[in-house]
Amino acid sequence: MKVLAAFLVNTLFNFAIGLLVALFLGPDQFGRFALALAVGMVAQTVAFEWIRLAAIRFYSERSRAERPELRATLDVAFAAISVALAAASVIFILAGLDFTLSPMLVALAFFAAIANGLFDYHTALVRARFDDGLYGRLVITKNIAALVLTVGGAFFFRSAAMTLAGACISMASSVLLARRALHDENAHARLASVPLAYEYARYSVPIVAANVLYLSIPLANRAMISSHYGFAETGQFSLAYDIGTRLIAAVGSALDVLLFQIAVRAEETHGSEKAHEQVAHNMATVFAILLPAAAGLWLILPSIEALVVPHAFRGPFGHYLTLLLPGLLCFGFMNFAINAFFQIGKKTAALIAAAIIGFGVNLLLVLLLPKSGDAARFAIAQTCAFASALLVLTGFAIAGGARWPRARDLLLTVLATALMTAAVYPLRNWTPGIVTCIAQVLLGGAVFGGVALAFNIAELRTALLKAMRR
């Protein structure tokens, strides 16, 4: 439960920080900041994601004691890649190349990739050890630093570059402050193994390649929006995408941080058959929480926009997020539910094929959909891209003999979400605000929660009773 509390804190901070940065920077500078951050995310995924994935899949409290070469290999690989990426950043600044973004912003995007990669790698190690207390410290420290430095950079300088610099420092500082607790005494650098690194890369590279393609979809869309409509429209699109992604990812990650590690532990102690049973149960749980969360976000969207979205972004925010939300739901279910089948089985090549299909669908629809006065066609294309990728990946999982949740759980989740939507939808006609939002959340939670508990959907009632007993 501590790790879930840490995720809740992280979600609230990320939500607040994103909105405050948008408020202080305005659409134009926020568009530059968001595009640079997207470049950094792609760079981080290419350079460091394989290390994070290997840590989640292969590192544990047991391997920490019995196989110190595992941690040593990951640490050395991260250090070497960081040095190379930092050198590339300096070269980029000195070269003065002309791109959509300034050389300084691109270089800062590379440094953001290193800083965020450092944070994600170490939180993955802590996850694998089930050290909830240390995980909470890392998350809270990072978010407090981000509130001061990232938001402070936006407030005092009104500059995308200074805001991104603050983000880099905040992400790295939490790891540096906790370096003693994160250190493995026996993981000496001399134990690092090239064959071991190759084994981890072979497992991770297909997942990384798929993630790069998925990240490239919104990145390419933002770049094209900047070219066609300017940075201000990119900022409008980016805020809706970023907030929607963070909320869906926060819910999915909070589940994944527990459920996937339970599946890994099941394989370690009971074998692959038990692990695949756990993965099927995990799918039901993820579906039972992500679907009503996405529907609930759409239902309260007018109040969210009126209460917390900066005035300069209102209107386009709700418009774009409504178009993007179905795609974000598909991406969340794919990333936090279906992918686990391939990761546990160490057969991850199918992920690339699904991502290629999604990327192709996005480009095709951007070209074919009629142009309008805003970037709506890019949002529609992105949603269709993630939906098509989910369909393709599900097909691969069926062909690979994946175990699936009980149909009863899936159907009851859909029914409970439909009842919740029917009950709350009339409240959308109320004046948006705090009273309306609270009424919607309470009513929706009561309807969905009542059905879920009554029928024990995905064993949520069982899990709740166990947590209460603890």
pLDDT of residue 274: 84
Domain count, the chain: 2
Residue 324: inside a domain: yes
Per-residue pLDDT tens, the chain, 470 aa: give them.
Answer: 566 666 667 777 887 898 899 999 998 899 899 889 888 988 999 999 999 999 988 898 888 888 999 999 999 999 999 999 999 888 877 876 667 778 889 889 999 999 999 999 999 999 888 788 888 899 889 999 999 999 999 999 999 999 999 999 999 998 998 888 899 988 999 999 999 999 998 888 888 899 889 988 998 998 899 988 988 999 999 999 988 998 898 788 778 767 877 887 777 777 778 888 888 999 999 999 999 999 999 999 999 999 989 999 999 999 999 999 999 999 999 999 999 898 887 777 889 999 999 999 999 999 999 988 889 999 999 999 999 999 999 999 999 888 899 999 999 999 999 999 999 999 999 999 999 999 999 999 999 999 999 999 999 899 888 878 87
pLDDT score for 98: 64
Q: Please, are residues 254 and 429 in contact by the beta-carbon 8 Å criterion?
A: no
Residue 430 lies in a domain: no
Q: Assess whether 152 and 260 both reside in one domain.
A: no
Q: What's phi and psi for 158, nearest 5 deg?
A: 50, 40
Q: Please give the single-letter amino acid code of residue 159.
A: S
Q: Return d(Cα 13, Cα 103) in angstroms, integer.
A: 29
286 shares its domain with 219: yes
Kindly give, in sequence order, each residue whose CB lies less than 8 Å from that of residue 371, ignoring residues fewer than 6 positions away. Answer: 377
pLDDT of the residue at 139: 87
CA-based radius of gyration for the chain = 22
Tell which of 132, 159, 192 closes a domain: 192
Which of 355, 346, 266 is closest to 54 using CA atoms? Answer: 346
Domain identity same for 178 and 260: no
Q: What is the pLDDT of residue 7?
A: 65
Question: Are 86 and 33 in a shared domain?
Answer: yes
Q: Give the position of tokens 């994946």.
A: 402
- Count the alpha carbons within 13 Å of 49 in the hemisphere toward its beta carbon: 18
Residue with tokens 């798929």: 210
What is the spatial distance between Cα 88 and Cα 66, in angstroms, rounded to a whole number? 37
pTM for the full predicted model = 0.81
Q: Are residues 241 and 121 in the same domain?
A: no
| Residue 450 located in a structural domain | no
Same-domain pairing of 114 and 227: no
Neighbours of 421 (CB within 10 A): 17
Structural domain harbouring 206: 196-404
Do 274 and 383 share a domain, yes or no? yes
Both tokens of 83, joined, read 């040095």
Among residues 144, 165, 192, which one ends one of the domains? 192
443 inside domain = no
Type and span of the H or E element at 138: helix 132-157
Tell me the torsion sign for CA atoms 137, 140, 145, 150. Answer: positive
Residue 234 falls inside a structural domain: yes
